Each structure stands twice: as C-alpha cells, then as structure tokens.
Homo-oligomer: A and B are copies of this chain.
Amino acid sequence: MAHLFIGEVLTHGGTAVDATAGNGYDTLFLTRQVGPAGRVYAFDVQEQALLKTRKLLEEHSLAWQVTLFQAGHEEMDRLVCGPVDAVLYNLGYLPGASHELITQPETTIASLRAAIGLLSRGGRIGLVGYPGHPGGEAECNAVIQFASCLDHALYSVIKISMVNRAGNAPVVILIEEGSR
C-alpha cells in the first residue's frame, strides 16, 4: 500500500528519499519510479546496508541514479536539496543483521519533521512501522502521535492497520502535503 500511495505521485523525473535503505528494495522501487531523469537519495547508518543497496542497484544498472549517505535519516534536510516528491521509511532493524541496532523514536520524529520540510506540494511520505520487536511499539506510538498532531488543513494523514492480525502486526502511516 505504501508503494501504491507513493507511486501515484512519484513519476519520471521526480526526486525521492529512502530514509532507511536497509537491503535496498525500497531504493530500487523509488529509482524505477523516477527513471533516468530523476534522482534518489538513500540513508542508512550501517555500512552493511549501503553495500547491499549498492549491490542491488548495480545488478539493475541503476546505481548512478542514486546518492547513498551513511548518515542518520534525521540529517536529510542538511544533505538533500529539496523539494522532494516522496520519502519512504521502513523502520526497525536491518533484516538479517543485529536486532539491537534499531531506529529510535527521537531520530525518527526528527527525521519526519525534516522530511515534511523537504516535501513538494502534493508530495507524500510512506512509513512502515513494526510494533513487534523490543522498542518497536514505543516508536510506532510516537510516530502515530506525531502524525495525529499534523494540521489537517495542511496535511492528509492516514493510518493503515491489519485488523484481523495480532496487535504487533506492522502499521503503515501515509502523509500527503495538502488537504483533501
């Protein structure tokens, strides 16, 4: 659903940020969306994640379209020249790596503030959170709390929850600059 939502506004020539490069699948999706005339910026604090992301992009001959930053996503307003059409977050830990190194509520909220500041008119943010791992629920609650307080005259915010799953199922938050 996050890809569907982002794909609607992120077209050829657009600019996008993958806040959490991880294994690179979201970066690949964004890069395909913007095409050769577009630009993608991807963040991760772990070198291992950026190496995997670069490898995946190289396999698809798309690495030249992407700028990789080994930095926290909360630094995106310092490192990315806006406006950007879309920002994607996939919170939690790097699949296959240590579960101790996880995204944190403070930096995630700081990053969301930065992302909102970079967003173009009609731009969108898609975020997937995971309440199932230690610390994950607190982070998801912080994101929902932050998103709930965004002025509805300026931002449309929706939450997607899987109602026939256990309470620790992933949650998706989608933010659009502009009201409906």
Contacts and interface: CB of A to CB of B under 8 A. Distances in A.
Interface of A: 1, 4-5, 8, 144, 147-152, 155-165, 173
Q: Summarize A's interface: helix, strand, loop or mixed.
A: mixed
Nearest to A150: B164
A46 to B, nearest CB: 27
A155 to B, nearest CB: 7
Contacts of A156: 162, 164
A158 B147 contact: no
Contacts of A161: 158-159, 161
A156 B170 CA distance: 13
A109 B152 CA distance: 32
Contacts of A162: 152, 156-159
Nearest to A7: B4
B160 A164 contact: no
A48 to B, nearest CB: 27
Q: Which of A144, A149, A159 has the most CB atoms of chain B within a 10 A radius of its CB?
A: A159
Contact of A160 (B8, B148, B151, B158): B158
A164 to B, nearest CB: 4
B163 A158 contact: yes
A132 to B, nearest CB: 15
Given A148-B164, A156-B162, A159-B161, 7 more contacts: A1-B5, A1-B158, A4-B5, A148-B163, A150-B164, A152-B165, A158-B160
A15 to B, nearest CB: 22
Contacts of A164: 147-152, 155-157
Contacts of A148: 163-164
